[in-house]
Amino acid sequence: MKKVVFILAVIGCIALVGAGKVHWDEKIEQSVQPVSAEEESSSASESGKLIEQPISNDELKGLLANFPEQLQEKMMSSNEPISVVMMGSESFGTKESGLQSIVEEGLASSYWDGAFTVEQLTFKKETTETIVEEELYKDVIDNKPDVVLLEAFTLNDNGNVTIEEGHENISTIISKLRESIPGVSIILMPSNPIANPQYYSFQINALEKYAEAKDLVYLDHWQEWPSVDGEKIKDFVKDYRPNDRGFEVWGDAIVNYMSGK
């Protein structure tokens, strides 16, 4: 009788151990199961991986009409975003309330969310002379952007740097950017308009001629603002810098240009 009980106990122990092993093996197998397509897609989205372009190539070509060929090719053949750095004065406003948010939202609307990354580097009171002497353009180089939206800092230069010196400084900045970032596209822009600009208006006209002589891409957003000779311009500028309405006009001009309009 004792032998029978002993044998039954041994059999019971073996069965218990076997069942535990099966359960443990199942848990291990579950832990190493491949991620489902849905889960993988979700993980990729969370990590910032771009989705494929949601528009046709023909539509994309139209949007990219104002871009140089190498950037068109990059966007047509890759899901990597086009990186944009906006380099300017306090006329750009802040990242939360200024040009950056308007440009980001506008490009996402014209293209798709994630097609571009936009970074704003603001040098509030610095002149073109200060930027060159202190090599502040290196902050842009560190970002290695595809596109640089470069404000000419004309308003900061006003009364501090002569027109000729300002143009030389702009040439230096552009030269340094091109040397350090092969293939970078640079879009030069005037600073914002103001009411009754007087000599400042003369500086802006000279800047446009300089850009034409140097064969630079020049985004003349002044055409989108109210006339500087009327009263309406005062609704778009405060203390010589753009207010929210001014940011919208300037930002929309940038987005329109970068959307082939």
| Per-residue pLDDT tens over the stretch 191-209 | 999 999 999 999 999 999 9
Cβ neighbour number for residue 50 with a 10 Å cutoff: 15
Over residues 16-56, the pLDDT tens digits come to: 334 444 443 443 343 333 332 233 333 333 334 445 678 88
* Mutual angle of helices 99-110 and 244-258, in 10-degree steps: 40
Per-residue confidence (pLDDT) for residue 52, from 0 to 100: 67
Question: Closest Cα partner for 127 from 157, 88, 162, 163?
Answer: 157
How confident is the model at residue 215, as a pLDDT?
97
Please say if the pLDDT value at position 99 is more than 90: yes
Contact 86, 253 (CB under 8 A): no
Asked whether residue 132 carries a pLDDT value surpassing 50, the answer given is yes
Whether pTM > 0.85 for this model: the answer is no
* Nearest to 70, CA basis, from 180, 138, 147: 147
Express each pLDDT in 156-183 by its tens digit: 999 999 999 999 999 999 999 999 999 9
Is 87 exposed, middle or buried (CB count within 10 Å of its CB: 0-12, 13-18, 19+)?
buried
Tokens 């940038």 appear where?
Answer: 254
Homologous superfamily, domain 53-258: SGNH hydrolase (3.40.50.1110)
